[in-house]
Structure 1
Amino acid sequence: MKFTKRQWMTLLVIGIADFCNAICVSLQAPFYPQEAEKKGATATEYGLVFGIFELVVFIVSPFYGQHLNRIGPKVLFNGGIYTTGVCAILFGLLDKVEGHYPFITLSLIIRVIEAMGNAAFLTASFAIIAKEFPDNVATTFASLETFFGLGLIVGPTVGGALYQIGGYTVPFAVMGTALFLSAIMTNFTLPKHEQGTDVETGSSIWATLKIPGVLLAASSIIVTSMSIGFLQATLEPHLRQFGLSPIVLGLMFVINGGTYALSAPVWGWLCDKYIPPKTVTIIGTLLVAVGFCLVGPAPFIPINTSMGVTICGLVLHGLGMGAQLVASFTDALRTSIAYGFPNNLETFGLISGLWTSTFALGAFIGPSVSGILYDSIGFRPSSMFVVGVHLVVGFIVGLFLMCTRRSAQYVEMKDDKIGNGDLHAGESKSGTISISESIRSIRSVANGISIERSRPPGMNSLIACNSYKSQAWPRKDANGLSMGPYSYSYGTIDARRNGGATYLQGVA
């Protein structure tokens, strides 16, 4: 991949901010519960402090996505990092608060504001990626997810080490300051995009969810984050039978996250170059399902729980996570544009908000459901819940692929040698264009989008089609318009000399 200097700088600063941000939102896990118990808080109360973070991200992300174009992605990005950094530092001062209820109340308030900053940062970063890397969305998205994944892995380890060195305040002060400094760096480095108005009427997150392909991508995100939350809440009790030391137990939590961080760029490269995103999604659902069958293992597997089998299951889970999360963002973006959404920052913001929101929803549901199931029936039977929802999503996506391949609604037809002169010559000779002679490549959008290879690299390759917005003339202005045998009722024809490409765009 050949990136410009601007693209490399954008990738670098967002990666650093991603890494620091992930550490800040995850570093308190090893020691906050203990501090909260010293103040008289119950497990339910400090559990709510963790859970409310994802709930707030779920609620506010669609708002950020819908108003991203008016706010500006750079402003939203930097504002989110500043907010998260300041809240991290303030969270480190909570040990100075006396009293049970003041401690919990301030914890919740700071955590809510921190979640709002985190949602702003993530939504803006995804939109900037889509804007700056239009031809490599999946690869760059996956690369930055690697930084974020590494931050989530390193966060509890760094937090625990700094807590041991300097007490409760030191981890938050150090990492909050680091994130604040990264925000200053991005302020001078990130490119500035033109601001506009809010998303046009009808182009809301609900409008995108009405598209079947986007709804399936959102479902994939939800079940994937549910699987992550499921293990966060139940893996430690499940492994107590082995009497593991804290260090080894911590490493067990790193296995799936580390595998995800390492495999995400590979999945992104495959989505961009070789495999359709929905196919990658199906592969991911199967990997997660098989992985959870081994972690337990499943009740129908006649073996006892063992460390070796559990580790294999966690590795497969990490591979499946990478496949689903990377493919879902790319798929939702391509599919929404293929269904007529504008190929601009507004749509990028909507899909970014959708991804962030649905991931947070799954992260909120996962631990809640897993706790109830674990208390009721134990880990091995309850793990079948994750297996079941992934197999259902994979089956529906597979069925969707088969149906859309049978009834492709749009094809792209290109001939490097056909221009206006050739078009008229062809029509005068036979009355119609000879399709068999003029087509050099036909690619359907059964998998979400048609990519036009003949465009220059600097132009966005995503083609809005299958919509009245993609016609050469608006329908209301097309009365009486006729081009030989063609009229607006059956489609439009646009003959261009640029690259010699001729397109026939059918109206759905």
Structure 2
Amino acid sequence: MPESKSLTTLDRRQRILLAAVCGLVFAESLVLTIVAPLLPITAREKGVSNFEVGILFGVAWLASALSGIVHGKLLSRITPKSMSIAGCVVTALAAVGIGLAGEFSRGRVEFLPSLLVLRIIQGSGFSAIAVAVQAILSAEMPEHGLGVQAAYQGSVALGFTLSPPIAGGLYAANGFWLPFIVMSVILVIILVIAVIPLRHLKGQVVQHKSGQYFPLLLQPRALLTVAHSLVIAAVFRFFEGFIPVHMHEQFGWGPAEVAWLFTVCAVVFLIFLPIWVKLNSALMGNVAVMSWCMYMSGFSLILLAPAPFIPVEYPWWITSLVCLVYIISYTGAIVTNVPDLNFIAGKTGYPDNYGTYGIVSASVNGALTSGFFSGPFIGGALTDHIGFAWTTVVFGLIQCVFGLLLIARLIVDRVLGHKDGTVGLTRQISKQLSKAGVESGVESSEMVYLEHNDHTQYNTGTSDDKGIENKAFDGSSDVKSPISCDPGKLTNNVPGSTTCDIPKSHVETENSGSATTESTAETSSDSGVDDTEHQNTAPMKQTADGSKSN
């Protein structure tokens, strides 16, 4: 497995970029969750029922999941920087609107519809930022996949943890509206600072073709990874929503004790993020970590209540330790999803560009937010019918089943020779081409093949300011589809490069017929046949006066 490098190996530009995008995610998390301690009280004063309050909380996650599908498709068309800016502005404006609606609306009729619309807008803004930031991290730091995911998830967790006490303090100072105004201003300030490093993203060009979901998500391994994201998110939201009630009924805990438990859980989450990054290599890769964490989480949930078939009553400190074990397992599971799906996308043949990373990040974030939305509803319905203890058993068994499926995937991958881990996509193609040219004595305008994982880079010729007029061919022997390469718009994102990325199988097809293609090319040239009809045409050289020759 290719080991994920430590964040200490990032260069100065990457460190600044990582700090900027993590700051955006942190501020966005603050703004999105600031309603948690404030909305129930204010909604009750406006005459809103508990069920309607639950809808106001959940609709933001539902909007985030649904809008993420669109954001993933649009990312390559409007660039990550533009999507990040739009998401921050929309979220900030929606937060200001929520504060003003809570302060000045008169009764349920005005309060509920306005809050519903604003929470939908807020969730959509959060999705735009999450998709853009995940894609930026994957594209800019491909060799640090697990480390940057740990930094991203740590920023989200820190925002979720600090939001309630900050909101409570500002609410006590000057009412419902002040926390939303202050948090929105903080988000805009961080956005202004972050725009500077976002201007220098590699490969950030407007593309006229979006990534495709179905070729990736129809892969069984990819589908299992996305389902894994949904399950861990749903179980986490169930745990977060119902453990306070359980601790109150079982041990008489009040809000203060529950707040302390959540604070300790957040600290443990942040501590174990880098630990799981280190353990990923020791445990043989992403799939092994995911399966291990699913079993840890499943058994901890079964022991949480505990299960009705376990005739033991716990003291409060054992239940608290079980909660910490669950948080540790959740920490390890959540950092592996995006790197693993990037790995699968690379093996499936997806190109190394923002179209691919937008699809990957939207798929994972959509699954996570769908779980955040559905977990409390499913858990609440089960708790009402079978009780909290049996509900934890159900969720625990579901996670154990997923752990078994992940082990089966790991075994199949080993049998088929697939290497588990984080994909290292082609960021050093030009250096490899230069090195190969020096070692083999091949000129830059000649054909060069370099094998890289499952793809081969195909050097098609020299370039100038007007672009590359030579054509590489991508397709089987039955389909011949020319691909024109333009400077600054290649898969390796190096302006002026002459490299196109084509599937390895196509190169093998060309090599197998190399004995006959040279004569075929000469014959077609003499007879006036267009050389684009032949897949294996020799590359063209462009001279200084603009003429072309073989």
Give TM class, smaller chain.
0.7 to 0.9
Once the 2 structures are TM-superposed, how far is the Cα of residue 123 of structure 1 from its aligned partner? Answer: 0.2
Aligned residue runs from structure 1 range 153-232, under 5 A: 153-190=161-198, 191-192=200-201, 193-199=203-209, 203-232=211-240
Q: Which residue of 1 aligns with 2:69?
A: 62
Is the aligned partner of 1:463 residue 2:453? yes
Partners of 1:339 and 1:465 within 8 A in 2: no
Q: Normalising to structure 2: TM-score of the pair? A: 0.76
Q: Which residue of 2 aligns with 1:363?
A: 372
Partners of 2:346 and 2:423 within 8 A in 1: no
Pairing partner for 1:344 from 322, 331, 353: 353
Distance 1:451 1:363, change over 3 A: closer
Distance 1:84 1:363, change over 3 A: same
Partners of 2:95 and 2:180 within 8 A in 1: yes
Partners of 2:286 and 2:422 within 8 A in 1: no
Distance 1:464 1:107, change over 3 A: farther
2: CA distance between counterparts of 1:302 and 1:255?
Answer: 28
Q: Which residue of 2 aligns with 1:145?
A: 153
Q: Which amino acid aligns with 2:39?
A: Y
Q: Which residue of 2 aligns with 1:27?
A: 34
Q: Which amino acid aligns with 2:220?
A: P
Pairing partner for 1:10 from 10, 17, 25: 17
Pairing partner for 1:447 from 415, 420, 428: 420
Structure 2, gaps ≥5 residues long: 1-7, 434-450, 457-474, 477-501, 517-550
Q: Kindly provide the CA deviation profile for residues 432-483 of structure 1, in whole angstroms up to 9, marking residues without a partner as x.
A: xxxxxxxxxxxxx332677699968988998345997422746886784459
1: CA distance between counterparts of 2:34 and 2:132?
Answer: 23
Q: Which residue of 2 aligns with 1:92?
A: 99
1: CA distance between counterparts of 2:399 and 2:41?
Answer: 35
Q: Kindly provide the CA deviation profile for residues 277-325 of structure 1, in whole angstroms up to 9, marking residues without a partner as x.
A: 0011011101211221232122222212431122111111111111111
Q: Which residue of 2 aligns with 1:327?
A: 336
Is the aligned partner of 1:303 residue 2:312? yes
Pairing partner for 1:292 from 296, 301, 313: 301
1: CA distance between counterparts of 2:403 and 2:283?
Answer: 20
2: CA distance between counterparts of 1:457 and 1:244?
Answer: 61
1: CA distance between counterparts of 2:506 and 2:382?
Answer: 57
Distance 1:272 1:7, change over 3 A: farther
2: CA distance between counterparts of 1:44 and 1:132?
Answer: 43
Which secondary structure does the structure 2 equivalent of 1:299 belong to?
coil
Q: Which residue of 2 aligns with 1:275?
A: 284
Distance 1:387 1:99, change over 3 A: same
Q: Which residue of 1 aligns with 2:257?
A: 248
Partners of 1:298 and 1:381 within 8 A in 2: yes
Q: Which residue of 1 aligns with 2:130?
A: 122
Which secondary structure does the structure 2 equivalent of 1:136 belong to?
helix
2: CA distance between counterparts of 1:146 and 1:451?
Answer: 23
Distance 1:480 1:114, change over 3 A: same
Q: Which amino acid aligns with 1:321?
A: Y
1: CA distance between counterparts of 2:127 and 2:161?
Answer: 19
Distance 1:45 1:405, change over 3 A: same
Which secondary structure does the structure 2 equivalent of 1:35 belong to?
helix
Aligned residue runs from structure 1 range 345-424, under 5 A: 345-408=354-417
Q: Which residue of 1 aligns with 2:479?
A: none
Partners of 2:142 and 2:425 within 8 A in 1: no
Q: Which residue of 2 aligns with 1:441?
A: none
2: CA distance between counterparts of 1:263 and 1:276?
Answer: 17
2: CA distance between counterparts of 1:115 and 1:335?
Answer: 28
Q: Kindly provide the CA deviation profile for residues 105-161 of structure 1, in whole angstroms up to 9, marking residues without a partner as x.
A: 000111111111100000000000011111101111111211111111111121122
Distance 1:71 1:478, change over 3 A: same
Pairing partner for 2:115 from 94, 107, 115: 107
Partners of 1:451 and 1:462 within 8 A in 2: no
Q: Which amino acid aligns with 2:504?
A: Q
Once the 2 structures are TM-superposed, how far is the Cα of residue 31 of structure 1 from its aligned partner? Answer: 2.1
Partners of 1:54 and 1:361 within 8 A in 2: yes
Q: Normalising to structure 1: TM-score of the pair? A: 0.82
Distance 1:464 1:115, change over 3 A: farther
Partners of 2:80 and 2:204 within 8 A in 1: no
Q: Which amino acid aligns with 1:196?
A: V
Identity within the alignment, %: 22
Distance 1:208 1:152, change over 3 A: same
Q: Which residue of 1 aligns with 2:90?
A: 83
Distance 1:477 1:458, change over 3 A: closer
Q: Which amino acid aligns with 1:470?
A: P
Partners of 1:293 and 1:384 within 8 A in 2: yes
Distance 1:478 1:60, change over 3 A: farther
Q: Which amino acid aligns with 2:86?
A: G
Which secondary structure does the structure 1 equivalent of 2:335 belong to?
helix
Aligned residue runs from structure 1 range 425-444, under 5 A: none
2: CA distance between counterparts of 1:457 and 1:268?
Answer: 30
Distance 1:91 1:300, change over 3 A: same
Distance 1:457 1:47, change over 3 A: farther
1: CA distance between counterparts of 2:338 and 2:455?
Answer: 19
Partners of 2:265 and 2:324 within 8 A in 1: yes
Q: Which residue of 2 aligns with 1:503?
A: none
Q: Which residue of 1 aligns with 2:484?
A: none
Of residues 29-38 and 286-295 in structure 1, the stretch that sits farther from structure 2 once superposed is: 286-295
Distance 1:451 1:141, change over 3 A: closer
Pairing partner for 1:49 from 27, 47, 56: 56
Partners of 1:450 and 1:463 within 8 A in 2: no
Of residues 134-143 and 156-165 in structure 1, the stretch that sits farther from structure 2 once superposed is: 156-165
2: CA distance between counterparts of 1:113 and 1:221?
Answer: 23
1: CA distance between counterparts of 2:427 and 2:311?
Answer: 56
1: CA distance between counterparts of 2:510 and 2:182?
Answer: 62
Q: Which amino acid aligns with 1:140?
A: V
Q: Which has the larger radius of gyration?
A: 2
Structure 1, gaps ≥5 residues long: 409-444, 484-508
Q: Which residue of 2 aligns with 1:442?
A: none
Partners of 2:142 and 2:424 within 8 A in 1: no
